[in-house]
Structure 1
Amino acid sequence: MVVADPSTLKGIPELFETDSGESLISRTESLATFRELGPPDLCRIEKFNPKSSGAKEISSYHFVLGVDSSSSASLAAYLNSLSYALVSPSPKTPNPWKIRSGTYCCFNAFSRVDVRVEVRIPGGVESYVVDLRGDKHKITNPAIWQETYVSAVLRAILDDNDEPDGNDGNPILGLRKMDPLDTLNTEKKFLEAAALEFWKGWQLGTNPEVQIATYFSNHLTNGIMKYFRDGGRLDQAAKFFEPLFAKDAEVGAVLAASYFGNDDEVKGVKVLYDALRKSPSSYGLLLTQVDFLIGKNKLEMAANLAKMAVVAAPSEYVTWAKLTQVYIQMGDFESALLALNSCPMFSYCERDSHRMPSPARVHLPLRPDPKPEELTPAGGAGTTTAAAAAPSSTSNLSGTIEDDNDPRENQIHPELARLPALSLRGTFLLAYNLLIQIVSKTGWDELLKFRSRVFVMEEEYRIHRALLEESQKEEQFAAEERARESISAEKKDDNGSSSNELSQMAKAKVAINGVVTDSDELNDATAEANEDADEGRLQELDSNFESIRLTPEIADNGDDTGNGKKGLSIDEMLRRASSQAHEDENLDPDEKSVQTGVDKLGSLEGARKMTSTPNPRPKRNPINFTFRNKRLCEKWLDNLFMVLYNDLRLYTALKQEMSQYNQGTNKPPMSLRKTGAEWEVYGDLAERLRHPEDAKTAYKLCIEQKFSIKAWLKILAMESEEGNIREALIAVNRVIVLLDKSYIDNTFPSPIARAVFKLIGQHGYQKVHNMLIALNVPQRNFKLIMKFFEYSQFFKVSGNDI
């Protein structure tokens, strides 16, 4: 039994401030970071107790969704209502604590200001706005309240209800949720205000997968569609969008979707026809038509329209994703992978929130623990429930919610906690779901084959890179050879003019040695005055001719050269040349090629060219390899393949372990021991990989070992999707007990409402209601569940009259 604290509010969570006013200061500093709809409303109150022996003044705050913020009077009324929620220490003793003042903050997403109302008890009411810089201004424009009201309702509708606190795994501590539209009059009031603000809806932003907000894709339009779709009342959505369609053809995208969801296909097709005539390049209209054709199994036509949508909006993720989805339905998985690879990816924008300082203490109210019979519907202890037929039955709960879960049940293996798929958000998560659709149809091995056909694999890229590097080296070598040839040609031209002089000097050298005498050419050479100069030049010629071997071709040309410092006769030179020719015949082929090069080129440069050139590389056979029909896989998609591999590896290992456990004859009781948290992760894994039966089994094993509201909500969603009335209502009974214990009593939007309305739409009100009566749930639980049935009749949910 929870002991009542007189300084707290009954049924309302509270976070107590360490320093007075720190919550307002933190919100003001965070205003500039709000990009879209903004965070939940903030309600702060100050209490005082003159008789308290400790602190005489304390301040606390909590977050709210669903409060009427259409005027300062409605917000002041909410603040005043909190004074009646103070807990009395005993029925006969009044509470010594009183609320002195309160401040309510509500973000206006249209004008980007924070509307605040301060109430002093007793005293007056003051309302003002705070801009993004933190400056305070008076409210002079009445339209501010209309914008604030629409913003607050949209926040309550679009808040994710898949988690008990409605915040997608990121719980907001101290959040209180109320019904934003609890009557038909309030709904009418909101729709009228939304129609006036509709053309400014693009300023609110849109879903993470859409890059640019439009009239048919923004938080205002999405919120209205979600409200009526979850409530099974798309006919009312069509009535809202009809007058707006007359002003802009693009509104026809959501209007046609409303008609199709309400099984009014003739009107939907007519709307699309008229809208596309006015705006043929609107990708929203094209995508709506694609969805309709997919439902009719006209996949070829849907593919053509999806391609047109891609051309109309190539920078949008949704167009490429829709084309990928069509290809998957057609079984063209190669084209699906190529389309998926072309999807533009965007950074995920986190939901608007502001970080609060650590509270001094936290008060989360709880009702007294329910009795055991409130947890088990009639038949749960017997044999009538379907869940009682298996060890993983939802009726064989091993613990009760009044007992804390064993801390060991919250332990989880590090490998499961670090699964990369858990961090995917936005477009990356949606792309991963498309990849899972492919692997669920083809299998992992076939997926790898399709991947290798359309994308360049690592081994192929390595070979291509090696061939490219070799080609570049060969081109570089050829360029160097051309450069050497040009240098050689230049030197040859420079030495050409002095060739005759060299020949004459060679003859002069022979004459000086006394072997051959040419009187005409040696008249001046024998003079004593030029002897020293000639000797120096001859020494230089010696050094140049040392490596030259006399050949018959050179001898025939009449180039007589000497080969020694002392000179040789012609006969001696011919004898040596003859003996050298015999030696050349005995040379190795490589050495002979060098000599032949010298002989043919007849110059020192030719010999150097032949000796400096490396052995030519053997010609390679050309490889039949091309990337013409392949593409490089994007890095993010390559990472998603690895994420999918990790998921499939763990899922396969678990399936194998469970199969061995089920086939064993003498099974030890702890052979398949997993903690409750691990079974919850395995349930998420199986659901992610599109194995709903395995997911339900894992979730049921989880709740046998610990109470998990997430596991119950997952079971509820899957059972209602499959139309299992009995199992879904059993899950409703279990979930509603915990929510009531935590003072969560909002009706719609909520996961329970979605499930109940879906069952009513599939089977009719009477059948589902009769099944609830047949379960014979406890009276208190029956009254809590009947709120959703009464709402369905009051708002005329689809199937309520059946």
Structure 2
Amino acid sequence: MVAPAVPEIYEEEDIFAAVDARTESLQHLRELGPPDLVYLVKQPKASTSRQAGVYHHVTGIDASSSASLAAYVNTLTYSPLDKTHKVVSGIYCCYNAFSHLDMRVEVKIPGSLESYCIDERGDKRVATEALWLETFLCGVLRAYSYADDGSGDAIRKIVGVRRFNPVTNTEMEHKFLDAAEKLFFLGRQLSSDPETQVPNTVSNHLTSGLLKYIYTTGRYASGINLFEKLRTRDVEVSSLLARVLTMADEEVQAVRLLYDALQDVPMDYALLDCQAAFCQSKGEGEMALECAKRAVTAAPSEFSTWARLAEVYVDMEQWDLALLTLNSCPMFTYQDKDAPRMPQPSRILLPILSESVLDEIDEGQPKQGDPHDSVHPSLRKLHASSYQGTFLKAYNLLTRIAAAIGWDQLLKIRSEVFVMEEEYRTERQQAPKGRPASTIGSAANVAAGNSEEAAQQPQETISEVASDSTTPNGLDEAHNIERPEQSMASEVIKSGSDDPDPSHMAYTQFKDKRLCERWLDNLFMVLYEDLRIYTIWRTEMAQYRQQAMEYKKSATEWEILGELAERLHHFDEAIEAYQSCLAIRFSPKAMRGQLKLYEKKNDTRSMLSALIKLIAWQYRWYSEFSPELLFLIRRLIEEEGAVKVRSIVQATNLPQTVLDLTHQYCQLCATFRSSGSDA
């Protein structure tokens, strides 16, 4: 398999500053840790007086021993790009998230090897076999966590990261699953996805990584075998086993397992959620509803249970209950992945792997020093594009409702279930003196678990978003998009600041209404802004077509408009924008969006054409491994057979070196004996 090129980030004045910065950051790490750091010291071959530090980051390297990490450092001693310098030493740093230690291997070339670990205080400790086992498992999980989905978003976040596939054969898989089995019940120490408030046995980064591995590779038998063994030690693992059985199309067995497990632990929310998801997938709304309600009762402070209940109400088209449930979701501050905090480098060298060179990708790309694409301010200020974690999932639910019933109907239902500011003010003025509006909080009965952190998210306030009426090309307000009226924020009412009188009353007009959480009010305003810009875009497009004029946007603007349409569930319009972007220059995000169109049409030839370009682009930026792209190749092989897939790839009129990169993904499927790989 062709290895990606090696990016080089130089420190010519202050050697080891990057290693020191990593040491200082250890006490702040809360997740799986940053990618591994590889630091080399170079000096001219003709002189020993002047040395320079060169580093890059990497994921997916076997970190099961000091020898395997030293072997990686040794592969870097010869550089075809720099024949005047030699590597005299190297340090490999790999984070152990279980024990919160940074495992390090120092290599002197030629000569000695020293391995040790650094704790959060910067002190040296002995690296034991048990610590290496933990480090190896963390390394595999990080490789999946930091992998790119094909859109290039993860690649752009950190400069100069080489991404390798951590599990390339069945022997390495056995090693990975064996480590996962030994350390499984320590998994909660690794934190969890941002939608989970409290990591537990079945919701943490270890279980997420295991499920992603099984889903990506289709190694269902290995996953079932692992979770069967673990289930004998803790019945809660049944929810993970049931999910793998469902993936493997063993649905009868999965249903029986869920039934039996719920006899033992009837209020396990993970099992109930799994049951609700299965009923949802079968269109059994009423059954899913009962399971989702029980899951909320079992875990009222978890976002996932409330979100599932809201999803079920959306599926059943009970829009008012969906909104009320969404309003009750506990929202958590988004915790991003641990990223390296490095000092300013002297220079950065980003070489191109010759095997990944493809004219279609390189043509039209902005050169260094070229001005950036012009992007209209109104497109830059679309805050929904930056949502993550619970806020992203809540926004997706809100946009689903809006797409199903329309904006006007959504506003009508909103005013029917939530107390609006205007009616509250009117009612308060008419209320007899001495009866405070502050007690409306009792009528609102806001669900438990709403976090105060929700209001601290980096969102625009309602007034700031609402006051922004900037529109592209000077058009007025978007046609037929009514600005949402402000609701009464629960924080304002519950504070009682308007009226300090302690007597209690409930307005009859509000007895069936709730107070809208501020974060949800913000989502309505952000959705309004999305819809407004989308409507202006479509109106402008129609006007230009009527006049037989070309509608011009920059590539970045088309990319943003494609994302906007996709967020609002306007699939055809999203594809149109992505195609306009690709007509100007290659964009992995736009190509990934267009790939969804080919998936929808079951167009195998076009899918493979898009995948070849995405895989080549990934290699261009030092990534030989994308789980999502591997999954798509595997699924095509399952449906069409490996011979047909390879034949279509080979028949593509592109350089052989580029085609070989895709063949490597196909070979991986053959190595794991994926369905269809022998046909």
Q: Name the TM tier (shorter chain).
A: 0.7 to 0.9
Deviations 1:482-528 (A, max 9, x none): xxxxxxxxxxxxxxxxxxxxxxxxxxxxxxxxxxxxxxxxxxxxxxx
Q: Note if contact 1:165-1:172 (Cα within 8 Å) is conserved in structure 2.
A: no
Residues 56-95 of structure 1 mapped to structure 2, 5 A cutoff: 56-87=50-81, 95=83
Identity %: 43
- Equivalent pair of 1:406/1:706 in contact (CA under 8 Å): no
Q: CA deviation at 1:725?
A: 1.3
Alignment-mate amino acid for residue 144 of structure 1:
L
Query: Which residue is 1:548 aligned to?
Result: none
**Aligned residue identity for 1:97:** H
Partners of 1:736 and 1:759 lie apart in 2 by 15
> What code does the residue aligned with 2:409 have?
E
Which whole-Å CA distance do the structure 1 matches of 2:543 and 2:169 have between them? 55
Residue in 2 aligned with 1:545?
none
Task: Measure, in 2, the Cα distance between the counterparts of 1:412 and 1:167.
Answer: 22
Partners of 2:653 and 2:4 lie apart in 1 by 31
SS in 1 for 2:76: helix
For the residues of structure 2 that align with 1:638 and 1:364, how far apart are their CA atoms? Answer: 44
CA contact (8 A) 2:355 2:658 kept: no
1:409–1:706 contact (8 Å) kept in structure 2: no
Residue matched to 1:99: 87
1:239 aligns with 2:207: no
Aligned partner of 1:43 among 38, 47, 50: 38
Cα displacement (A) at 1:236: 2.8
CA contact (8 A) 2:299 2:305 kept: yes
Q: Is 1:343 paired with 2:329?
A: yes
Q: Name the SS for the 1:30 alignment partner.
A: helix
**What corresponds to 1:142 in structure 2?**
129
Task: Tell me the residue number matched to 1:445.
Answer: 408
State the distance in 1 between where 2:61 and 2:356 align.
29
Q: 1:33 to 1:716 in 2, by over 3 A?
A: same
Contact 1:252 1:271 (8 Å CA) reproduced: yes
Which residue is equivalent to 1:20?
A: 15
Q: 1:365–1:795: structure 2 CA closer, same or farther, 3 Å change rule? A: same
Equivalence for 1:533:
none
Change (3 A) 1:685 1:303: same
Q: Deviations 1:726-760 (Å, cap 9, x if unpaired)?
A: 2211212323343444454x1x4444323222323
- Deviation readout 1:22-75 (Å, 9 max, x if unpaired): 01110010000101210000010101125259x721111110101111001111
Corresponding position of 2:204: 218
1:422 maps to 2:379: no
Q: Aligned equivalents of 1:684 and 1:119: distance in 2?
A: 46
Distance 1:77 1:253, change over 3 A: same
Higher relative contact order (CA 8 A, sep 6+): 2
Contact 1:164 1:709 in 2 (8 A): yes
| 1:33 is aligned to 2:25 | no
Alignment of 1:110-189 (within 5 A): 110-139=98-127, 141-162=128-149, 167=154, 171-189=157-175
Measure how far apart 1:309 and its partner are: 0.4
- For 2:595, the aligned partner's letter is L
Partner of 1:668 in structure 2?
549
Amino acid at match of 1:149: F
Match of 2:657 among 760, 774, 780: 780
2:253 pairs with 252, 258, 267, which one? Answer: 267
Q: Which amino acid aligns with 2:266?
A: P
Structure 2: segments with no counterpart, 5+ residues: 437-505
- What is the CA deviation profile of residues 408-449 of structure 1, one whole-angstrom value per residue up to 9, with x for unaligned ones? 661101111111112312101110001011111111111111
The equivalent of 1:727 in structure 2 is 606
Of the three residues 582, 590, 609, the one matched with 1:703 is 582
Alpha-carbon distance, 1:801 to partner: 4.7
**Residues 45 and 86 in structure 2, CA contact (< 8 A), matched pair in contact too:** no
Select 2:636's aligned residue among 743, 753, 759.
759
Number of equivalences:
607
Q: Say if 2:149 and 2:626, in contact at 8 Å, map to a contact too.
A: no
Deviations 1:247-295, CA, capped at 9 Å, x for gaps: 1111111100111111111110121112111111110000000011111
Moved more, 208-217 or 460-469: 460-469
Displacement of 1:769 in angstroms is 3.6
Is 1:738 paired with 2:617?
A: yes
Alignment partners' CA distance in 2, 1:263 and 1:455: 42
2:272, 2:355 → 1: CA distance?
54
Superposed CA deviations along residues 599-624 of structure 1, whole A, max 9, x for unmatched, are xxxxxxxxxxxxxxxxxxxxxxxx99
Change over 3 Å in CA distance of 1:674–1:779 after alignment to 2: same
How far did residue 401 of structure 1 move? 5.6
Q: What does the per-residue CA deviation read over 1:153-193, in whole Å, with 9 as the maximum and x for residues that have no partner?
A: 1000122413566627x521111111211121111111111
Q: Secondary structure at the match of 2:330?
A: coil
Change (3 A) 1:15 1:128: same
Superposition pairs for residues 320-339 of structure 1, below 5 Å? 320-339=306-325
Give the whole-Å Cα distance in 2 for the aligned partners of 1:11 and 1:648: 43
Quick one: structure 1 residues 692 and 236, their matched pair in 2 at CA, closer, same or farther if it must change by over 3 Å?
Answer: farther
Structure 1 residues 421, 130: closer, same or farther in 2, change over 3 A? same
Deviation at 1:242?
1.1
8 Å Cα contact 2:356/2:617 also seen in 1: no
Contact 1:720 1:759 in 2 (8 A): no
In 2, distance between residues paired with 1:686 and 1:164?
16
2:397 counterpart of 1:434: yes
Distance 2:545 2:607 in 1: 27
SS of aligned partner of 1:661: helix
The one-letter code matched in structure 2 to 1:299 is G
Q: Which residue of 2 aligns with 1:688?
A: 567
**In the superposition, relative to structure 1, how do residues 128 and 208 fare at CA in structure 2: closer, same or farther (>3 Å)?**
same
* 2:147–2:163 contact (8 Å) kept in structure 1: no
Cα displacement (A) at 1:227: 1.1
Structure 1 pair 689/767, CA: closer, same or farther in 2 (3 Å)?
farther
Asked if structure 1 preserves the Cα contact closer than 8 Å seen for 2:562 and 2:577, the reply is yes
Give 1:229-628 correspondences, 5 Å limit: 229-367=215-353, 375=359, 400=363, 404=367, 407=370, 410-468=373-431, 470-471=433-434, 625-628=508-511
TM-superposed CA distance for 1:370, in Å, is 7.7
Alpha carbons of 1:794 and 1:735: their partners in 2 closer, same or farther (altered >3 Å)? same
Residue 694 of structure 1: CA displacement? 1.3
Structure number, greater radius of gyration: 1
The letter for the 2-side match of 1:314 is P
Match of 1:657 in 2: 540
Q: Separation in 2 of the partners of 1:106 and 1:742? A: 21
Contact (CA 8 Å) 2:59, 2:164: kept in 1 or not? yes
Q: CA deviation at 1:776?
A: 4.4
CA 1:695/1:404 → structure 2, altered by over 3 Å: closer, same or farther? same
Aligned to 2:464: none
Q: Which runs of 5+ in 1 are unaligned?
A: 1-8, 89-94, 377-396, 474-622
Q: List per-residue Cα deviations over 1:225-261 (Å, max 9, x = no partner).
A: 1011122333332222111111111111110011111
Secondary structure at the aligned position of 1:69 is classed as coil
State the SS of the aligned residue for 2:510: coil
Cα distance in 1 for partners of 2:678, 2:45 equals 58
Aligned residue for 1:83, secondary structure, equals coil
Q: Distance in 2 between matches of 1:189 and 1:224?
A: 13
In 2, Cα distance between equivalents of 1:410 and 1:232? 41
Within 1, Cα distance between the matches of 2:4 and 2:607? Answer: 31
Q: What is the rounded CA distance, in whole Å, between the counterparts of 2:396 and 2:110 in structure 1?
A: 56
AA aligned to 1:451 is R
Q: Paired residue for 1:205?
A: 191
The one-letter amino acid of 2:104's match is R
